[in-house]
Chain A
Amino acid sequence: MAVGLRHFTARAGNGSGEPILDADNGEELVHVQPSVSVAVGDRAPESPGTLYITTRQVIWLSELDREKGYAVYFLSLSLHAVSRDPEAYPSPCIYTQIETEADEVEDESKDSDSECSEVLDLSKIREMRFIPSDANQLDTLFQVFCECAELNPEPIEEGEEEGHNWIFSADQLEDEAGAGDDVEWHFSQNPTNTIGHSNGHHDLASSVLELQINDQRFEDAEEMEQDSDTGHHHQSQQ
Chain B
Amino acid sequence: LFFSYFKDLVGREVTVELKNDLAIRGTLHSVDQYLNIKLENTRVVDQDKYPHMLSVRNCFIRGSVVRYVQLPPEEVDIELLHDATRREAR
Contacts and interface: CB of A to CB of B under 8 A. Distances in A.
Nearest to A39: B52
B84 A103 contact: no
A109 interface: no
A188 B29 contact: yes
Contact-size category for B: 35 or more
Contacts of A194: 7-8, 10
Contacts of B65: 78-79, 99
B15 interface: no
A229 B84 contact: no
Contact of B10 (A81, A83, A186, A210): A186
Contact of B80 (A77, A79, A161, A211): A211
B14 interface: no
B19 A103 contact: yes
Nearest to B83: A208
Given A88-B52, A197-B7, A208-B80, A82 B32 contact: no
Contacts, number: 149
A154 B33 contact: no
Interface residues of A, number: 54
Nearest to A94: B56
Given A164-B1, A188-B29, A214-B4, A104 B19 contact: yes
Interface in A189-231: 191, 194, 197-198, 204, 207-208, 210-212, 214-215, 218, 229
B23 interface: no
B10 A187 contact: yes
A82 B58 contact: yes
A126 B77 CA distance: 37
Nearest to B3: A164
A162 B32 contact: no
B45 interface: no
Interface string B35-71: 1101000100000001011111111111111000000
Nearest to B30: A185
Nearest to A79: B61
Given A79-B18, A81-B58, A85-B55, A188 B1 contact: no
A183 B32 contact: yes
Interface in A72-108: 77-85, 87-89, 95, 97, 99, 103-104
A95 B58 CA distance: 11
Contacts of A83: 52-53, 56-57
List 3 A-B pairs, minimum CB-CB distance, nearest first.
A81-B59, A188-B11, A81-B56
Given A79-B62, A194-B8, 4 more contacts: A79-B18, A81-B57, A153-B34, A164-B33
